[in-house]
């Protein structure tokens, strides 16, 4: 039986020991397992991290290879006759080992010999077969009678003869066309790897992912995959600067946007659908759309994380009754291209006009505002929990500064951390509260508060979004 002979002194380098590994040609079929063991040993020994090992260590690796060969029944990894592979049609397996190897994870095993065997002779089990999209017949009406027959209700006729006629000749009018199947054109293993590498959410790769891995990346129905008010990452890992707050996890608040004006960070905002951002009116220095840049999916403002989408402003609408430092501090920005919905770019839900949020409701404020009054704006998105205060409390905590309008304003604070407050730079950003369905609803727009960012001095005041829903819907729905 063929044997591996490792020649070299104990003091010899690992590289020399590897060079001295020799294999006698197997003389019988049963010795193919020994050949496979050699390949495994060679793959293990070829690891550059092990070059400093001596000949004894190399010998130990060989015995590890023997153990691994026995563990995976290496004698089963015998390549089929080349003529059988060349004559076969279609995508199939050529070894009885394939299904068990797939279950054991050998399709992606780092040992080259085993991995190559699986990918060459177990293509079906390893999911390496090309995806063949079924071709659907064209959905058309074959006769001009169809539209008239539909008006007569014949698409649902009780007469079986008429019903069969309509199903055969009037598929379009009767709504019997099959929906286009959502599938991947790329191999499943490749798409899974792309998803694990975060490529499904990279803005620059969206068209490629939509073409190759539409199903795996959940790009078949974006509104269904990315419903308003839902953070996939927050839902996956569970719940967790604004003064007194903490750094937010990337993707926890995918509706948060950053508004820049003439190259400088200005304010925050909230994405409410693919086309509109809600912000504060005092964040709009000019209604001329030139000079604005809106960054969607941002987290660290100083780093290009490949998940941001940078767009311009197409139209800016400030509420007609806005009075600076008085009331109606709200504005809408229509962006110049549709938002690309991803794990990091998802709109917040809008409330109904009749919705009332009660005192004590736990909500969240987010933004890149100053962490201290003497500080500059935060580079990484911050978050903080707040509780809605009763309007009487809001009145008492703000009356020394400005008048509090109960119908169009609300305020909030953190009872467990009296220092939690919005600060300069948080303006225009969202105050979101979770509804019964677990979705985050935009209830407030950061408007004003303590000039020194001191929650003991003033409560943070927000524009009450429900009071402006008729105005918002007039633009957003159109």
Average confidence (pLDDT) over 154-171 = 88
- Is the confidence at residue 203, as pLDDT, over 50? yes
Query: Would the pTM of this model clear 0.75, i.e. be above it?
Result: no
- Is the confidence at residue 327, as pLDDT, over 60? yes
Average pLDDT, whole number, for the chain?
Answer: 77
pLDDT tens for 409-461 read 898 887 665 445 555 557 899 999 998 888 999 999 998 766 555 555 577 88
pLDDT of residue 26: 38
For residues 464 and 189, what is the distance between their CA atoms, to the nearest angstrom?
48
3-class SS of residue 156: helix
CB 313 within 8 A of CB 292: yes
pLDDT of residue 315: 93
Closest CA to 462 of 399, 414, 417, 413: 413
For the question of residue 427 being annotated catalytic, the response is yes
Active-site residue (options: 282, 298, 299, 447): 282
Q: What are phi and psi of 270, to 5 degrees?
A: -130, 125
Average confidence (pLDDT) over 154-177 = 86
For the question of residue 329 being annotated catalytic, the response is yes
Which residue, chain included where needed, has tokens 């899974």?
192
Closest CA to 463 of 476, 478, 447: 447
- Is the confidence at residue 468, as pLDDT, over 90? yes
Considering only CA atoms, give the Rg of the chain.
32
What structural domains does the chain harbor?
Answer: 4-76 (no CATH), 82-121 (no CATH), 258-335 (2.40.10.10)
pLDDT tens for 380-389 read 898 888 888 8
11 band by pLDDT with thresholds 50, 70 and 90: very low
Which is it for strands 440-448 and 430-434: parallel, antiparallel or unpaired?
antiparallel
pLDDT tens for 126-156 read 877 765 555 556 778 888 899 888 888 888 8
For the question of residue 183 being annotated catalytic, the response is no
7 band by pLDDT with thresholds 50, 70 and 90: very low
CB 254 within 8 A of CB 308: no
pLDDT tens for 360-403 read 889 999 988 765 544 566 888 988 888 888 888 887 766 666 77
pLDDT of residue 202: 92
295 band by pLDDT with thresholds 50, 70 and 90: very high
Percentage above 90 pLDDT, the chain? 27
pLDDT of residue 220: 86
- Is the confidence at residue 282, as pLDDT, over 50? yes
Active-site residue (options: 34, 329, 426, 450): 329
85 band by pLDDT with thresholds 50, 70 and 90: low
């Amino acid at each position: 039986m063929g044997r591996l002979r490792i020649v070299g002194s104990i003091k010899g380098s690992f590289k020399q020991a590897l060079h001295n590994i020799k294999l006698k040609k197997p003389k019988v079929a049963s010795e193919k397992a020994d050949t496979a063991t050699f390949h495994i040993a060679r793959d293990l020994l070829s690891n550059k991290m092990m070059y400093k090992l001596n000949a004894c260590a190399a010998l130990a690796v060989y015995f590890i290879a023997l153990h691994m060969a026995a563990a995976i029944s290496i004698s089963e990894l015998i390549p089929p006759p080349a003529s059988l592979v060349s004559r076969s049609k279609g995508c199939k397996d050529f070894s009885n080992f394939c299904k068990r190897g797939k279950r054991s994870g050998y399709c992606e095993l780092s040992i080259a010999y085993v991995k190559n065997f699986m990918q060459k002779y177990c293509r079906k089990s390893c999911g390496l077969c090309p995806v063949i999209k079924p071709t659907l017949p064209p959905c058309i009406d074959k006769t001009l009678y169809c539209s008239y027959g539909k008006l007569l209700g014949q698409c649902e006729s009780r007469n079986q003869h008429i019903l069969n006629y309509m199903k055969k000749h009037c598929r379009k009018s009767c709504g019997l066309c099959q929906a286009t199947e959502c599938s991947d054109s790329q191999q499943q293993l490749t798409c899974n790897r792309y998803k694990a590498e975060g490529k499904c959410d990279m803005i620059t790769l969206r068209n490629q992912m939509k073409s190759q891995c539409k199903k795996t990346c959940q790009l078949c129905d974006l509104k269904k995959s990315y419903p308003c008010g839902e953070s996939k990452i927050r839902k996956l890992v569970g719940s967790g600067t604004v003064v007194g707050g903490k750094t937010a996890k990337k993707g926890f608040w995918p509706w948060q946007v950053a508004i820049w004006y003439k190259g400088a960070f200005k304010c925050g905002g909230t994405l409410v659908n693919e086309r509109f951002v809600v912000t504060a009116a005092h964040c709009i220095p000019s209604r001329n759309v030139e000079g604005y840049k809106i960054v969607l999916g941002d987290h660290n403002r100083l780093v290009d994380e490949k998940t941001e989408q940078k767009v311009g402003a197409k139209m800016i609408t400030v509420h007609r009754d806005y009075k600076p430092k008085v009331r109606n501090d709200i504005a809408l920005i229509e962006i110049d291209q549709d938002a690309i919905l991803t794990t990091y770019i998802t709109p917040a839900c809008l409330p109904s006009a009749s919705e009332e949020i009660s005192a004590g409701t736990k909500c969240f404020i987010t933004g890149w505002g100053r962490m201290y009054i003497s500080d500059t704006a935060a580079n990484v998105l911050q978050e903080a929990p707040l509780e809605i205060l009763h309007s009487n409390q809001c009145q008492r905590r703000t009356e020394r500064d400005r008048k509090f309008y109960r119908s169009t304003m609300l305020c909030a604070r953190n009872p467990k951390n009296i220092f939690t407050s919005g600060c300069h730079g948080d303006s225009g950003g969202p105050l979101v509260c979770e509804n019964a369905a677990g979705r985050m609803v935009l209830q407030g727009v950061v408007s004003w508060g303590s000039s020194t960012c001191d929650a003991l001095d003033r409560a943070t005041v927000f524009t009450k979004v429900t009071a402006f829903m008729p105005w918002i819907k007039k633009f957003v729905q159109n």
